[in-house]
Amino acid sequence: MAADATILYSEDEIRRRVRDLGAAITDAYAGRSPVLVSVLKGGIVFLADLIREIRLPLRVDFMSISSYGEDAGGVVRILKDLDADVGGEDVLVVEDIIDTGLTLSYLLGTLRARRPASLEVCTLLDKSARRIPPLDVRYRGFDCPDVFVVGYGLDVDERFRNLPFILALDRPAQLLEDPGLLDGFLQVPPGPVA
């Protein structure tokens, strides 16, 4: 059975947007040394590419969280906290995707309580149509349609984070029944070196 999957954002499109975001962040934080905070695991691919497009002395730090489920209103348990105190720092939270925004809203609350000098958000994908709490998202790669997406860090059941592009899946539940459905996308040869 063929998977109902299409490439939503290609490698080239992602590379161009990441470059633009890096340039905008470089300008905005000129003369400062921001701390980029990434939420494991989905944000790692975007973070790795983004930091190489930022021409500033920056630091990276990681958090790992576990959701209490759909009804928890975004309340999460912190499984791994930041290594360093962010009090007085310019903190930029780097997210792979914001959906309802409930998780991020909770995280921003916990970070704000640590009194950073500034606190902003950079997300690659923003499903803005699904937003519940109002959020000020300063840097956004793509305004993403309300579809389930995988690749470039985003997973289904921990798989497909390594796809270099982003796929939209019509029926993600299909994958749980037949985990091999997208394997053809893993065979796409690497693109030419620019």
Binding site for ligand IMP (CB under 6 A): 42, 74, 97-104, 148-150, 154
Residue tagged active-site, from 99, 136, 146, 157? 99
Question: Rounded distance, CA 166 to CA 11, Å?
Answer: 8
Whichever of 21 and 98 has its CB closer to ligand IMP, that residue is 98
Q: How far is the CB of 5 from ligand IMP (least distance, A)?
A: 12
| Closest CB to ligand IMP among residues 94, 150 | 150
Cα gap 59→55, rounded to integer Å: 12
In the complex with ligand IMP, which residue's Cβ is closer, 119 or 166? 166
In the block, tokens 């592009």 appear at 165
Q: CB 25 → ligand IMP: shortest distance, Å?
A: 20
Tokens 């309580």 correspond to what residue? 113
Nearest to 150 by CA among 132, 163, 137: 163
Which residues are paired to 70 by β-bridges?
none
Choose between 45 and 56: whose C-beta lies nearer to ligand IMP.
45
Shortest distance, position 62 Cβ to ligand IMP, whole Å: 14
Q: Is 99 a catalytic residue?
A: yes
Q: How far is the CB of 131 from ligand IMP (least distance, A)?
A: 8
Q: Give the three-class secondary structure for 165.
A: coil
Give whichever of 26 and 100 is closer to ligand IMP, judged by the CB atom. Answer: 100
Residues 15 and 122 sit within 8 Å (Cβ to Cβ): no
Q: Any residues with CB less than 8 A from the CB of 68 and at least 6 apart, and which? A: 75, 76, 77
Four-CA torsion 81, 87, 92, 93, nearest 10 degrees: 30
Sign of torsion, CA 96 99 101 106? negative
Residue 74 CB, nearest approach to ligand IMP (Å): 5
The residues that are catalytic are: 99
